Amino acid sequence: MGYQESWLYVQPQVCFSNLIRAYEKTARTDYYRTMGAEPMSVVILKRPFGEVPKGVKLLWECGDRCFHTPVGVFNGNLKSPAKLCFIPVEQVLDPDDYRLKGIDLNSRAPSENAYMKRYSVKDYAEKIRNDRER
């Protein structure tokens, strides 16, 4: 048990939209109010971070350590054969890491620096939905 922040990395990346749809379906059930590790941000890397290449989209999730699994995050709503990798954030970044400068993890407004672009997961899901409707 205990608090954990993780990056959820999906391969192939074309399956990232499946994560967003599973998030939306799970959020509609109020699951995140009581259980799980909630996706809070979508991060698009502008530079590689260790083994994770630039251009990758990640879900940044926060919550109880034992819920950092596909079922714990999406309550069984993720239906995808894609490979998922949970990367504890502390393996990639320090809390005061210079690569986080200018990134506001608590805002709904997007933020960006030379290393990454960050969206709130709610706004990113809305952006994807609007793009699909066009």
Which tens digit of pLDDT belongs to each residue from 22-52?
999 999 998 998 877 899 999 999 999 999 9
Which residue range is the domain that position 115 belongs to?
A: 3-119
What's the domain count of the chain?
1
pLDDT in tens, the chain (134 residues): 578 999 999 999 999 999 999 999 999 998 998 877 899 999 999 999 999 999 999 999 998 888 889 999 999 999 988 999 999 999 999 989 999 999 999 999 999 999 999 999 999 999 888 887 77
- Decide if 129 is inside a domain: no
Q: How many residues does the chain have?
A: 134
Q: Is residue 100 in some structural domain?
A: yes
Q: Using CA atoms, how far apart are residues 96 and 76, in angstroms rounded to an integer?
A: 34
127 assigned to some structural domain: no
Cα separation, 101 vs 25, in Å, equals: 32
